[in-house]
């Protein structure tokens, strides 16, 4: 009897459900008091959201007691590993001394100085999430320049505040023509916000140059992930970031690096260090807090003077929260030391090579990227340069990979088409071997199917 990719998905989803009875029960209970039965829409996944009980080091246990090697890492947060002893000690100590004052604490100075050293930007302020960080950055660029327009990259995600929720797409058919991309706002965002945003493709300096030539007098700045991280991983082409740096500087606009996903993860000084281009502002969150909610913005003296002289009020009741600052201090000064990045990258490169070989053995082409704690391998015959090209990746295969890894003891982020893996300081080469073994089984399963066409998942879309 012939089999299809959908047959394989159906079989793996059945295994998934057989292992997660408690998660199913909790999800059903949660739907009575939480929309969708989850705490964040990003947690919703098929066949059922996974409810986590605990995590230690490189491992997590779900509500059913199943143990997994964790490559999800809370969407890239836990590069220090779960329950890291340095972070645990710092947080436990801080809890006994008070967790909130809405006044600065000494740890904030240490954290700011450490970030200044890593990113080459001397002034820092804190907030509570990546969304808040990018929101502050956009407010700053407009307060400083007196201009209204903001440029962002097609398909990129910078949090869920209004101005950046434009060109957040799930289907190739929704993007519009290349030279006039759609600016339809996300759900709940007023159309008027879309009129203040301009869209250019990643890795296309010519398109950005044309836009600045036409509307530069009205452009406050450009916000970009220096590596596009919601499309597997797409690195910048040589000269691209340098070109944007020159372009924005000539125009009197600000360049903002959204390093919420890359900062402290791809290198000791994030993508700013990795690619050698220093923007006007850097946005951080995720890994900075070691699992505690956090956010930060760093900038040049000139840019951040807009805060100190009162042109922009960067405020928040929980900004620089003592618990967050204690955790971040431990992360920066005791855990994520320079040598940890090389060790993680060695494991990641072995994983990438092993997965690529396993796929190639079954005649499947793939591409991948590894930097520091981050990496990805994608079953596709062409390395994409931008979001449109990435949308050609087969979503059904990505979902099958998620299921097969999960059913064989590896926890990755759901909707694996858009997410990469995240290592931690606790991962070992043996952990990487498990991913390779599972990928080899995935490759054999795909090779045994008659077709990779799917009625469950459409190519070019995250969900059907």
By annotation, the residues acting in catalysis are: 157, 258, 286
Ranges assigned E (strand) in 33-177: 52-56, 59-62, 67-70, 123-127, 149-153
Q: Give dist(CA 113, CA 119) in Å, integer.
A: 10
**How much of the chain is in helix, strand and coil states, percent to nearest 5?**
45, 15, 40
3-state SS class at 418: coil
CB 57 within 8 A of CB 83: yes
CA distances from 199 to 167, 190, 223, 252, 254 (A): 8, 17, 11, 19, 16
3-state SS class at 60: strand
Q: Which residues pair with 107 in a beta bridge?
A: none
Q: Which residues contact 301 (CB under 8 A, 6 or more apart)?
A: 122, 123
Q: Give dist(CA 84, CA 332) in Å, integer.
A: 13
- Other CB atoms within a 10 A radius of the CB of residue 284 amount to 30
Q: Which residues contact 55 (CB under 8 A, 6 or more apart)?
A: 61, 70, 78, 82, 83
Q: For 235-270, b where at least 16 C-beta lie within 10 A, e where not — what string?
A: bbeeebbebbbebbeebebbbbbbbbbbbbbbbbbb
Tokens describing residue 49: 């959201």
Q: Which residues pair with 374 in a beta bridge?
A: 371, 422
Closest-CA residue to 111 (of 286, 265, 260, 333): 333
Following DSSP, what letter does each residue of 253-293 receive, concatenated?
Answer: -EEEEE-TTTTTTTSTTHHHHHHT---SEEEE-GGGGTTS-
Q: What phi and psi, each to the nearest 5 degrees, are found at residue 411?
A: -100, 115
Q: What phi and psi, each to the nearest 5 degrees, are found at residue 250?
A: -60, -30
């Amino acid at each position: 009897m012939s089999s299809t990719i959908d047959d394989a998905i159906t079989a793996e989803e059945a295994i998934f459900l057989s292992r997660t009875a408690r998660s199913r029960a909790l999800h059903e209970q949660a739907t009575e008091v939480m929309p969708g039965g989850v705490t964040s829409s990003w947690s919703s996944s098929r066949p059922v959201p996974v409810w986590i009980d605990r995590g230690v080091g490189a491992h997590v246990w779900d509500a059913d007691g199943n143990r997994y090697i964790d490559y999800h890492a809370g969407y890239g947060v836990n590069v220090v590993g779960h329950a890291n002893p340095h972070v645990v000690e710092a947080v436990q100590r801080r809890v006994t001394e008070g967790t909130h004052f809405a006044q600065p604490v000494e740890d904030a100075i240490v954290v700011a100085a450490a970030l200044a050293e890593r990113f080459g930007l001397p002034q820092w302020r804190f907030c509570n999430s990546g969304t808040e960080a990018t929101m502050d950055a956009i407010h700053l660029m407009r307060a400083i320049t007196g201009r209204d327009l903001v440029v962002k990259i097609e398909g990129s995600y910078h949090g869920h505040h209004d101005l950046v929720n434009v060109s957040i797409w799930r289907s190739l058919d929704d993007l519009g023509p290349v030279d006039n991309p759609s600016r339809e706002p996300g759900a709940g965002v007023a159309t008027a916000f879309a009129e203040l945003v301009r869209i250019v493709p990643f890795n296309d300096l010519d398109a950005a140059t044309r836009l600045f030539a036409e509307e530069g007098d009205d452009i406050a700045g450009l916000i970009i992930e220096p590596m596009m991280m919601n499309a597997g991983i797409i690195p910048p082409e040589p000269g691209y970031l340098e070109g944007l740096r020159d372009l924005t500087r000539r125009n009197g606009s600000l360049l903002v690096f959204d390093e919420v996903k890359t900062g402290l993860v791809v290198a000791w000084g994030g993508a700013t260090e990795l690619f050698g281009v220093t923007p006007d502002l850097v946005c951080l969150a995720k890994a900075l807090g070691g699992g505690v909610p956090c956010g930060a913005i760093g900038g040049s003296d000139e840019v951040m003077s807009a805060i100190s002289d009162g042109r922009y009020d960067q405020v928040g009741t929980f900004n620089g929260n003592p618990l967050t600052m204690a955790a971040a201090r431990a992360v920066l000064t005791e855990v994520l030391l320079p040598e940890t990045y090389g060790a993680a990258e060695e494991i990641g490169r072995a994983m990438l090579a092993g997965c690529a070989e396993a796929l190639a053995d079954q005649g499947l082409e793939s591409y991948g990227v590894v930097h520091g704690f981050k990496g990805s391998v994608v079953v596709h015959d062409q390395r994409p340069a931008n979001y449109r090209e990435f949308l050609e990746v087969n979503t059904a295969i990505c979902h099958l990979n998620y299921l097969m890894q999960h059913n064989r003891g590896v926890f990755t982020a759901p909707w694996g088409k858009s997410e990469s893996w995240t290592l931690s300081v606790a991962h070992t080469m043996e952990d990487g071997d498990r991913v390779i073994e599972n990928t080899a089984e995935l490759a054999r399963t795909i090779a045994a199917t008659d077709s990779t066409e799917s009625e469950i998942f459409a190519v070019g879309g995250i969900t059907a």
